[in-house]
């Protein structure tokens, strides 16, 4: 993988963290013409009582950068670069899991 994926994912984390806030002011500092809303389909896996539901959404940032967003109703977020569950992912390359905890990159090749 080239070195461009980490800044891309870091930017996505910031965007997701901002989008997930309950504070309406989170997007007021950005001009409206610079905001892109992804309103495409999201798969929801409904779990039994007492367990959080799971949501999965894919987003392509262009040039083969496919990110899978996995979240739960208790606000856990996991990003997967090259998520094999997403269209356009390269199955001959490993997935890279970013769970929102600093230094917690799985399958980073190191």
**The pLDDT of residue 99:** 73
Tell me the C-alpha to C-alpha distance, in Å, between residue 53 and each of 6, 17, 19, 37, 103: 28, 19, 19, 23, 26
pTM over cut 0.85:
no
Q: Pseudo-torsion of CA 22, 14, 102, 7, nearest 10°?
A: 170
Q: Per-residue pLDDT averaged across 74-103, rounded?
A: 85
Cα atoms in the Cβ-side hemisphere of radius 13 Å centred on 21: 11
Q: Sign of dihedral through CA atoms 86, 60, 95, 68?
A: negative
* Residue 50: per-residue pLDDT: 85
């Amino acid at each position: 993988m080239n070195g461009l994926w980490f800044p891309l994912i870091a930017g996505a984390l910031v965007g997701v963290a901002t989008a997930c806030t309950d504070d309406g002011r989170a997007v007021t500092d950005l001009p409206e013409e610079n905001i892109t809303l992804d309103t495409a389909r999201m798969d929801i896996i409904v779990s039994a009582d007492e367990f959080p539901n799971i949501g999965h959404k894919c987003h392509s940032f262009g040039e083969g950068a496919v990110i899978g967003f996995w979240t739960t109703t208790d606000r856990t977020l996991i990003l997967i670069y090259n998520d094999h569950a997403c269209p356009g992912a390269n199955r001959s390359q490993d997935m890279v899991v970013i769970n929102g905890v600093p230094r917690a990159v799985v399958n980073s090749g190191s």
